[in-house]
Structure 1
């Protein structure tokens, strides 16, 4: 394999954020929540594999389309100056072909599920593609990101049960509010660069009351998790996981009290432990 081809593959991998798996992991936690709840602790292995692969390819496609939408801004933001489209390492046509290819793979995967999941996935894909453009006009575009990230919970329910339960709906809402927690931390890293560019984010919307906003979103997340558990009739182990997740988010609020960029990014990454805590509660709740 030639060096030129290896370099180009490396560029495509960076467009897909393969070197930054944190976002994929955050998406995977929500997917696994939905699978465990819909499958009552025993989700079919085939559906687990399809949904996890699908969420990975959709997240990768979302990253590519995000870079396409932001290609004229990324070079002016400290954290994104080295992205392939900003540096010219990748062309718009190359990125577009990669994004469409990833969408096609995602759709082929969902075709292996039932018709309800196929119909729902079309809506979810549209949300994922629209999200990058919401930063131009929505005060909290992270809400759209939350819907995109949490949609795997709904697809897990339609794939396993053929319907969306009330417990599944509240778990979905919990994941949406969770995205507003961790992506606000992420947005705080870029806020000083985004404001002069006229971009919008929850971090900008919450200026001066950052911790109140994040704490409110975390409280709504926990409330939805509790309602979901009650509707599903889960036992105390689940609530132990929710409590652990809540305490982890309290720690994040304390850790970011100075709003330093580095600490905010650490809090964003630390949310993987929050996702793991909720999943652990679900797993333990369904053990015999």
Structure 2
């Protein structure tokens, strides 16, 4: 599970985690302040309507859902003798819509679709407030992601022109090399920096990350903020080394040493950690 976030709904702090690229809300937190909170989730799971809803959700989104075990639960659901825990539901049917986590910060989490249904069962008004707070959280996160993207784009572009100008002025013999081959020289220099910083060329990264490559992402798209800062610094450093006529091997060794030193230093800087 990813790092938790939280929203407050009618004085209840409800934790949210990212799982399989989706938001899961804590059902445990939703009932924590209610009487007999320890049996509420179990009572909800005993209902036939609940089992049918959960089963339909799993059939829509979970190719590994075990239908035979689900049908057994559906037959028994609603009877006085029927009981079901989140762990039993997940274990028997291979369900993905619920998560059960033990420990101090554990509890039962549900995909947002299921969590909203559970909230409506508790109280329709509570569901409305829950949706409102959840939407507010997503709007805030959307603005933060946009700001982060702008920062990453600015970092990536900081010394790009300095680097390409150095390649153009010193490494591309304009009178001898056909212009269609210029791109290969630029790519070779970009990969020299990739090797120094990431330990991989762009091609090697694509081969190791086929899903990201299919989405047209690159090795530099995967970089964190610290790596982008160092990337910008390496572009400036490589431009200086190119002008001073260092060999490719010498430039790689100096950039590799610089990358290791700078990353180590940046990751220890508390101000940048906050950034």
TM interval, short-chain normalised: under 0.3
Q: Which has the higher helix share?
A: 1
Larger RCO (alpha carbons 8 Å, 6+ apart): 1
Higher Cα Rg, which structure: 2
Q: Report the TM-score, using the length of structure 1 for normalisation.
A: 0.23
TM-score (norm 2): 0.24
Structure number having the greater strand percentage: 2
